[in-house]
């Protein structure tokens, strides 16, 4: 496999609604930003991967067909990737395989989302549960993660105030990120007093439905060596899958627990092994991890090996994971909790990780960042994608 670098990235500012552009025009905005950043144009692109989540979320049947002209992809190989919430990261993994395999030297990942155009998002998401056994119940992504949060809090003694601290941190970070959707500062009490959706999740714990576009351009090491441009290198990546059945993730015979993200931990281990990371707490500077709700951030931090099981809430309360703190900074962009354009949320995680290691993150920059991780989650906590991204190709050392 060849080394693969991220040569250019682009993301629009994310908002609730965009009434001035169509879906393809939004994809084009993100792609154009990535072209400008890379110093390339569409004529340089050899193949395209389009991240696009379930059709019904944006009400467009096979939207990958509609956007082809907007990014000049006619006459080039194009594939769509859909892995639920992990879509935007899985698309980058597919593009990585295009380049690492030697088939292509320059590959574009470009997509967009406008979830707020749906008035039925949770009804759409309900349709991913089993037809006979579970869909007759009002199962959706909010209830699914509410049950995970209940179980995590029960097992590790965390509570709603611990969850509120995640929101407070992420909103502070998002206030420093011009692309973020929810940028207003909030207090713990604001979160605790917000209306209950599905206990213990309140409005202050959950992500918005975001509209915007994102894109990045992957290149081979050989191609990058001909350019005089800094490149963020994909040093490791992993994928893993959890059982479909949430009820199989509890009880004494379960292999993984719905309170934790055990399959994600394996995906991180795979990426770490490839990148040569043996001690995540000392070798990683930044984590841009997919956590749409406050509660999710705890078990993702733990699955990434940034602390032990059940330790994340107390560490956060003690000041860890915040911008400016010692150790790994978690979601300096404000993360998925402040910006969730579903199809490209995972792409934005990779873009933010690359931006950090290239030292171009502006007010949200983690000082001296060299190594970052990114991750995404799709399905009912079922599909996991992970990345290690660094600003060099040397062995990843210890500080």
* Radius of gyration over every alpha carbon of the chain, rounded to an integer in angstroms: 19
Name which of 138 and 319 has its Cβ closer to another protein: 138
Q: Distance between CA atoms of 180 and 339, rounded to whole angstroms?
A: 6
In the window 93-122, what residues touch another protein (CB under 8 A)? Answer: 119-120, 122
- Please pick, from the candidates 28, 151, 165, 364, the single residue that binds another protein as defined by CB under 8 A: 151
Q: Distance between CA atoms of 191 and 353, rounded to whole angstroms?
A: 27
- Please pick, from the candidates 44, 46, 134, 311, the single residue that binds another protein as defined by CB under 8 A: 134
In the window 55-74, what residues touch another protein (CB under 8 A)? Answer: 56, 59
Name which of 295 and 331 has its Cβ closer to another protein: 295
- Please pick, from the candidates 248, 276, 309, 379, the single residue that binds another protein as defined by CB under 8 A: 248
Contacts of 21 (CB under 8 A, 6+ apart): 29
Between the alpha carbon of residue 247 and those of residues 244, 257, 258, 300, the distances in Å are 9, 10, 8, 20
- Please pick, from the candidates 245, 276, 309, 327, the single residue that binds another protein as defined by CB under 8 A: 245
- Please pick, from the candidates 142, 304, 338, 388, the single residue that binds another protein as defined by CB under 8 A: 142
**Per-residue 3-state assignment (H helix, E strand, C coil) for 135-178:** CCCCCCHHHHHHHHHHHHHHHHCCCHHHHHHHHHHHHHHHCCCC
- Please pick, from the candidates 42, 227, 250, 314, the single residue that binds another protein as defined by CB under 8 A: 250
Helices 294-303, 262-275: crossing angle, 10 deg rounding: 50
- Please pick, from the candidates 32, 87, 140, 177, the single residue that binds another protein as defined by CB under 8 A: 140
Q: CB of residue 390 vs another protein: minimum separation in angstroms?
A: 36
Peptide bond into 200 cis (omega under 30): yes
Interaction between residue 196 and another protein (CB under 8 A): yes
Interaction between residue 381 and another protein (CB under 8 A): no
Binding segment for another protein (CB under 8 A), chosen from 41-49, 82-90, 249-257, 349-357, is: 249-257
Nearest residue to 374 via CA among 284, 283, 243: 284
Interaction between residue 326 and another protein (CB under 8 A): no
Interaction between residue 310 and another protein (CB under 8 A): no
Q: Distance between CA atoms of 36 and 11, rounded to whole angstroms?
A: 12
Q: How many residues does the chain have?
A: 399
Instruction: Show the DSSP H helices in 47-86 as ranges.
Output: 55-58, 63-66
Interaction between residue 19 and another protein (CB under 8 A): yes
Q: Distance between CA atoms of 386 and 285, rounded to whole angstroms?
A: 15
The burial of 118, by beta-carbon neighbours within 10 Å (0-12 exposed, 13-18 middle, 19 or more buried), is given as middle
The contact pattern for another protein, residues 154-193, with x = CB under 8 A and - = no contact, is: x---------------------------------------
Interaction between residue 353 and another protein (CB under 8 A): no
Please give the residue ranges that form the binding site for another protein (CB under 8 A). 19-20, 56, 59, 119-120, 122-123, 126, 130-134, 136-140, 142-143, 146-148, 150-151, 154, 195-201, 243, 245-248, 250-251, 253-255, 258
């Amino acid at each position: 496999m060849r080394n693969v670098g991220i040569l250019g990235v682009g993301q629009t500012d994310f908002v609730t609604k965009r009434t001035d552009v169509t879906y393809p025009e939004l994809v084009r905005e993100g792609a154009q930003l990535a072209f400008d950043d890379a110093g390339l144009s569409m004529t340089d692109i050899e193949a395209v991967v389009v991240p696009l989540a379930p059709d019904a979320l944006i009400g467009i049947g096979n939207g990958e067909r509609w956007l082809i002209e907007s990014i000049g992809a006619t006459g080039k190989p194009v594939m769509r990737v859909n892995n639920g919430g992990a879509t935007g990261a899985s698309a980058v993994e597919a593009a990585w395989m295009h380049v690492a395999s030697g088939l292509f030297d320059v590959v574009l990942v470009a997509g967009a989302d406008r979830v707020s155009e749906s008035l039925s998002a949770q009804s759409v998401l309900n349709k991913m549960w089993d037809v006979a056994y579970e869909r007759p119940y009002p199962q959706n992504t909010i209830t699914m993660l509410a049950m995970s949060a209940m179980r995590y809090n029960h097992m590790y003694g965390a509570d709603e105030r611990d969850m509120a601290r995640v929101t407070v941190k992420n909103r502070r970070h998002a206030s420093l990120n011009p692309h973020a959707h929810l940028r207003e500062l909030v207090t713990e009490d604001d979160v605790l007093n917000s209306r209950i959706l599905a206990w213990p999740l309140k409005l202050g714990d959950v992500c918005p439905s975001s509209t915007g576009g994102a894109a990045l351009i992957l290149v081979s090491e050989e191609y990058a060596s001909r350019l005089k441009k800094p490149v963020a290198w994909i040093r490791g990546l992993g994928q893993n899958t959890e059982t479909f059945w949430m009820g199989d993730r509890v009880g004494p015979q379960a292999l993984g627990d719905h309170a934790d993200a055990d399959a994600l931990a394996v995906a991180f281990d795979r990426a770490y092994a490839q990148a040569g990371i043996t001690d995540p707490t000392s070798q990683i500077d930044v984590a841009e991890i997919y956590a749409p709700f406050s509660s999710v951030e705890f078990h993702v931090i733990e699955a990434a090996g940034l602390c032990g099981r059940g330790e994340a809430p107390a560490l956060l309360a003690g000041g860890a994971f915040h911008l400016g703190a010692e150790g790994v900074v978690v979601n300096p962009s404000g993360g998925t909790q402040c910006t969730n354009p579903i199809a490209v949320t995972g792409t934005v995680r990779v873009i933010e990780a690359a931006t950090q290691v290239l030292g171009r993150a502006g007010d949200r920059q983690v000082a001296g960042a060299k190594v970052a991780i990114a991750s995404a989650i799709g399905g009912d906590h079922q599909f996991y994608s992970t990345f290690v991204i660094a600003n060099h190709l040397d062995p990843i050392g210890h500080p």
